């Protein structure tokens, strides 16, 4: 089978790999029907995160169950499934509290690699959620988005307390930020301010429910958000980048008592204690517990109430994954879907 392997920064290849097999009785093997490239895949691709020798890539996936281990009871061969980017048992105390991405038995799917024709899914009963049936082709991008970027944007919006009567700011106009807009709109936010300087992404943000665009960045961007909110700052901020600048911007744009939902994978971010003290904001984030939201997200997509798949602006065969990485690295694409057949 074909799968994507990163050998060194900038050197990603689609190669012939061994077929995955059931190792633990709780495993399932799925035929991956669609996968994609994540913004976080760019960290090692750009060399900002260390490349640990030739490493398998990808953690987003939908597929069809092929075989299951002896202990798997909730999914069966033939099921069409969506899974989270973190495998979880969904039964431990952390999972039951809704934090499946930090399950005591968690397995990061990036270490397994889902940019491939087949994948081993650990803890299949806890990780995979069956769809109502075989998805119509036009819903595939949206269902795939649920595996990470939609679920992550949704968690960020929930963690930021987005809801009726709330003004929400979104820092970051990548796929997660854009789907944070969609989530905030679905959760009933009154006003959604997106910080973006790319015309095409602004347009998609508006389609997803954004009401205002702020093109300024850093402290100028914060000043503009405050101007739009009577000097107070927003109630809720979604931080979807993970840099010092974006985190500072998120905290400073939020009013005292407000909430910041941060889901950008943090890289060299440090917070000033005294500034944090006087900000009086709630900070809540981390790897999104996508599994918590999956049943509801699948339903919303199946019923065509949301169209998160619109974030994909380039589709390539798995064999051309290297071009997909280049396109995202050079910002020619927001998010790249990889077909597997």
Q: At what angle do helices 290-302 and 149-159 cross, to 10 degrees?
A: 110
x/- mask, Zn ion, residues 195-234, rule CB under 5 A, reads ----------------------------------------
| Cβ neighbours around 317 below 10 Å, total | 14
Q: Which residues pair with 82 in a beta bridge?
A: 62, 129
Give dist(CA 289, CA 333) in Å, integer. Answer: 26
- 103 is a contact residue toward Zn ion (CB under 5 A): yes
The window from 63-71, 93-101, 182-190, 284-292 that contacts Zn ion (CB under 5 A) reads: 93-101
Q: Which of 22, 29, 82, 95 binds Zn ion (CB under 5 A)?
A: 95
DSSP per position, 300-317: HHHTTS--GGGG--EEEE
Q: State in angstroms the smallest separation of the CB of 91 from Zn ion.
A: 6
Q: Given the complex with Zn ion, which of 84 and 88 has the nearer CB atom?
A: 88
Beta bridge partner(s), residue 11: 8
**What count of other Cβ atoms lies within 10 Å of the Cβ of residue 322?**
17
Residue 239 interacts with Zn ion (CB under 5 A)?
Answer: no
Residue pair 215/193 in contact (Cβ under 8 Å)? The answer is: no
92 binds Zn ion (CB under 5 A): yes
Q: How far is the CB of 249 from Zn ion (least distance, A)?
A: 33
Stretch that binds Zn ion, among 11-19, 82-90, 116-124, 245-253 (CB under 5 A): 82-90
Q: Among residues 235 and 291, whose Cβ is nearest to Zn ion?
A: 291
Is 240 a binder of Zn ion (CB under 5 A)? no
| Of 89-97, 180-188, 190-198, 228-236: span binding Zn ion (CB under 5 A) | 89-97
Which distant-in-sequence residues (6+ apart) come within 8 Å of 155 by Cβ?
261, 263, 288, 289, 290, 292, 293
Which of 41, 89, 173, 248: binder of Zn ion (CB under 5 A)? 89
**E strand spans, 44-124:** 55-56, 61-68, 80-83, 86-87, 107-108, 118-121
Q: Does residue 125 bind Zn ion (CB under 5 A)? A: no
Residue 292: CB minimum distance to Zn ion, A: 11
CB of 161 to Zn ion, least distance (A): 25
Chain position carrying tokens 């979104």: 170
Residue 284 CA to its chain's centroid (Å):
16
In this complex, which beta carbon is closest to Zn ion, that of residue 40 or of residue 88? 88
Residues lying near Zn ion in the complex (CB under 5 A): 88-89, 92, 95, 103
């Amino acid at each position: 089978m074909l799968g994507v392997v990163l050998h060194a920064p900038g050197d990603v290849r689609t190669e012939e790999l061994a077929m995955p097999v059931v190792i633990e009785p709780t495993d399932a093997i799925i035929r991956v029907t669609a996968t994609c490239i994540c913004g976080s895949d760019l960290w090692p691709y750009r060399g900002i995160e260390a490349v640990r020798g030739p490493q398998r890539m990808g953690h987003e996936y939908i597929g069809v169950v092929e075989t299951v281990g002896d202990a798997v009871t909730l999914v069966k061969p033939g099921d069409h499934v969506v899974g989270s980017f973190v495998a979880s048992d969904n039964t431990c105390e952390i999972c039951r509290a809704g934090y499946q991405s930090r399950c005591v038995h968690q397995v990061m799917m990036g270490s397994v690699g889902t940019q491939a024709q087949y994948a081993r899914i650990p803890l299949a009963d806890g990780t995979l959620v069956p769809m109502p049936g075989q998805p119509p082709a036009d819903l595939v991008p949206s269902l795939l988005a649920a595996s990470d970027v939609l679920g992550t944007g949704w968690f960020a919006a929930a963690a930021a307390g987005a809801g009726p009567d709330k003004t929400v700011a979104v820092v970051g106009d990548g796929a997660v930020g854009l789907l944070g807009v969609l989530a905030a709109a679905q959760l009933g936010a009154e006003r959604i301010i997106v910080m973006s300087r790319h015309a095409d992404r602004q347009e998609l943000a508006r389609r997803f429910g954004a009401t205002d665009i702020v093109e300024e960045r850093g402290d100028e961007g914060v000043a503009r958000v405050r101007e739009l909110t009577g000097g107070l700052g927003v109630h809720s901020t979604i931080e979807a980048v993970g840099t010092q600048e974006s985190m500072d911007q998120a905290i400073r744009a939020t009013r005292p008592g407000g909430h910041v939902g941060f889901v950008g994978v943090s890289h060299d971010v440090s917070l000033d204690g005294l500034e944090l003290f006087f900000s009086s904001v709630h900070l809540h984030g981390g790897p999104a517990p996508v599994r918590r939201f999956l049943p509801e997200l699948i339903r919303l997509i199946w019923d065509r109430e949301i169209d998160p798949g619109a974030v994909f602006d380039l589709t390539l065969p798995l064999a051309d994954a290297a071009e997909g990485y280049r396109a995202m690295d050079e910002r020619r694409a927001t998010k790249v879907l990889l077909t597997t057949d």
